[in-house]
Amino acid sequence: MPAHNLEHILILGIGNVLWADEGFGVRCVEALADSHALPSHVRLLDGGTQGLYLLPFLEKADALIVFDAVDYGLAPGTLKIVEGDEVPAFLGAKKMSLHQTGFQEVIATAQLMGRCPPRMVLIGCQPAELEDYGGGLRDVVAARIPDAIAVALGRLAEWGAEARPGATEGELADPAIRRDAYETGRPDESLACRIGDARFFPAAG
C-alpha cells in the first residue's frame, strides 16, 4: 500500500505496568506522546491489557505499530523488530502473560474478518524482570525506550507521517499511573510485599 494511502495509523502500547518490564510498551507510547507532535491521522493508544476491546481500533487502521515487552529468549534489553505476518506468531510464541494471548486473538480476529491492518510492525524489547508486582521498568529496559521510539519515527517517516518535537494528545492512562508518578510513588520494599503476602507465600525452606 503506497504511503499516501495510509489515512489511519495506529501506534499501540500494550502490557501491564504493574509487573515491572511488562509495562515497556505502555511506557513507550507515553514517552512518544510527551516528546513528539504527530500528524492528525496518527493515533496514539495505551492498549494496556484490554484484549478484544482493541479490535475496533485495529479495524480502522491502515498501518499498526505495536510496542511491547516480548520474550524472545535474548539478552535483557534487546530490541527486536518483527513485521507483517510474523507479528502474531511472535506475540504468541512464548507468552509471558494473558495480555499477549489477548492481543494475538485481536489480530487473529481482525484477520478473519478481513480488517487487519495491511502493515504491521512489532517493536519488542526483551524484559529483564517480570516477577515484581508494583515494580517499574528495570534500567536496561527503560534505556531502550528512546531507541524503540526512534524505530517507530523512522517507520512513520517512510509512511509519509513526519513527526516534530512537541507533544501529542494520546489516549493514555490516568496521570496517577504514568511512569514518573508510579515509580517515584512506590513504597519501600519493607513496606509493600513485591511478590505476594509472606503469610501465604513463605520463603522456600
In degrees and rounded to multiples of 5, residue 68 shows phi and psi of -160, 160
Alpha helices (H) in 40-144, listed in sequence order:
55-59, 86-93, 98-112, 139-142
Residue 99 in marked binding region: yes
Question: Positive or negative, the Cα torsion across 164, 156, 7, 27?
Answer: negative
- Please, what sign has the CA dihedral across residues 39, 8, 31, 82? negative
Contact 62, 4 (CB under 8 A): no
Beta-carbon neighbour count of residue 193 at 10 Å? 14
Question: Strand, coil or helix: what is 191?
Answer: coil
Report how far apart, in Å, the C-alpha atoms of 130 and of each of 86, 102, 141, 142, 162 are. 24, 18, 11, 13, 34
Buried b (16+ CB within 10 A) or exposed e, 23-36: bbbbbbbbbbbebb
Strand ranges, E, within 49-189: 63-69, 79-83, 119-125, 164-165
Residue numbers belonging to the annotated binding site: 22, 68, 99
Residue numbers belonging to the annotated binding site for Ni(2+):
22, 68, 99
